[in-house]
Amino acid sequence: MTVESDDPGLELGESVIEQLFRTQFIERAQTLGAQTAQRPSDWGDEVEVRFPHDWRIWVLRPQVPLGMTRPDFVLEPSGAPCEPIAIFTDGKRWHAHPDSNKLREDSEKRRAARGLGYRVIAVTWNDLHGHALDKSWFDRSWTEKVAPTYGIPTAQLSRLTDDPLTSLMQWMASPDDERSRRAAIARALPLMARGTTTVASVSGDADSSLARLAASVLQGNTPVHGPKEWVTAHGPLAIAGRLGALGATDIALVIDDRAEALLTADFDRAWRLWLHLSNVIGWRDPEDTFTITTVGGVATGAGVGPVDVALFELTPEWARLTEHAIARERRLLARFAQAGLPLPTLGTETGDGFVLSLAWADAKVAVAWGLTEDDIKATAADGWTVLDADAADLETAVTASMEG
């Protein structure tokens, strides 16, 4: 396939950047020894990837609807449970241009995908053309001092600056090992991004919003000195960090989406850094909070605070069910509602006393966390098909079990 070296700003059917991403995704996987296969779908070719000595088959599917958002691609494995990844290919002309400013919309849609249990990766036109992001934000000597506190070997620090395709390939080749490595780096990132240079420090209590502090700096306010919170500015991007007990951290990435900011000379770098750091902190563990938003989003409260299942416009019966569910059950309920599955029941107890998180009693199909293999065998003996709630492509598995 022939592609231009400059972003053409065209969207005709499947966009040029989407085609280019798929091509490079296949090439990179093959370079690493993976077997690949393509098959047509309604929105472009799906790609299957299998690495040597791995039982997983990774499937890259285009234009998969996820509630209020539709990523350009979704990457999911079969053969072993692993978090799915929502991939957004971003050309500056259509996402971060004064005539097409989608920064706030992008942040909200990606937040929604994360709320459904997806990791999120953004890939820009420049990433696909080998134009490396300026690494001046990254102070190697300072980062090497911070790394031991979080148990991070020096050799793994390259993950802070890897391009998105390299990051994806590393994840696919060894997700079980990569998960803990990336979570540690993402947890350390607020301190690592602070660096050793003088930054704006702020005072505030533990309940104050880091996103609002970052937005305030971008709007020209001068914060007050304080030891536990800080804001580092990179032109129209502000990174706010907070250090808690036992090395716990919080972080907010806020980009200035006002019209005048998009016209500044350093906006392109700031936008790419916002997306890049979003990729990195998206691997944080669930208990490690973070916010990715815009100045406009902070002003309206959008993107500040936990994901609410109300974003997905549930029908009244599904909404009533979520009122009695815990957070992880609410995320699954939103996914099942969007997939058109029948309404399940919560907390169904089997005859042997096993509690099934979500169940369809008539079909004897259920989804649960924390059951051992012996538990699953026992429920199977009672006629139940119990699926692991963390399994990939769970909606399809539920549908197949109910039809079988």
Q: What is the pLDDT of residues 268-283, one digit of tens each?
A: 999 999 999 999 999 9
Using alpha carbons, list the distances in angstroms from residue 147 to 144, 234, 239, 247, 342: 5, 23, 19, 11, 47
Mean pLDDT of all residues in 397-404: 88
**Mean pLDDT of all residues in 180-196:** 89
Under a CB-based contact definition with an 8 Å cutoff, are residues 169 and 32 in contact?
yes
pLDDT score of 110 more than 80: yes
pLDDT in tens, 355-376: 788 899 999 999 987 677 788 8
Between CA 200 and CA 111 the distance in angstroms is 27
Neighbours of 94 (CB within 10 A): 18
- Span 175-180, average pLDDT: 91
* Cα dihedral sign, 126-132-134-138: positive
> Which segments of 80-143 are extended strands (E)?
85-90, 96-97, 100-101, 119-124
**Structure confidence at residue 206 (pLDDT):** 40
Write the CATH number of the domain with boundaries 310-403: 3.40.960
Other Cβ atoms less than 10 A from the Cβ of 395: the count is: 14
Residue with tokens 């538990």: 375
Mean pLDDT of the region 61-80: 88
Query: For the ranges 157-166, 224-233, 263-272, which has the lowest average pLDDT?
Result: 224-233
Of the ranges 53-67, 346-360, 373-387, the best mean pLDDT one: 53-67
Distance between CA atoms of residues 200 and 240, nearest Å:
9
Q: For the residues 1-5, what does the mean pLDDT come to?
A: 40
pLDDT 10s digits, 296-353: 999 877 655 444 434 345 778 887 787 666 656 777 888 888 888 999 998 787 777 7
pLDDT at 162 > cutoff 50: yes
Helix axis angle for 175-194 and 164-173, nearest 10°, is: 140
Question: What is the per-residue pLDDT for 22?
Answer: 97
Kindly list the domain boundaries of the chain, sorted by start residue: 16-128, 140-307, 310-403
pLDDT grade for 200, boundaries at 50, 70 and 90: low
Burial class (CB in 10 A: 0-12, 13-18, 19+), 356: buried
Give the pLDDT confidence score for residue 55 in this predicted structure.
85
Q: What is the pLDDT of residues 205-252, one digit of tens each?
A: 444 578 888 898 898 876 554 567 888 889 999 999 888 777 888 899
Task: Find tokens 């300072």 and name the residue.
Answer: 142
Pairing state between β 290-294 and 249-255? parallel
- pLDDT of 150: 94
Q: Exposure string (b/e) for 68-86, b if CB count within 10 Å is 16 or more?
A: bbbbbbbbbbbeeebbbbb
pLDDT (0 to 100) of residue 201: 56
Q: What is the pLDDT of residues 14-32, one digit of tens each?
A: 889 999 999 999 999 999 9
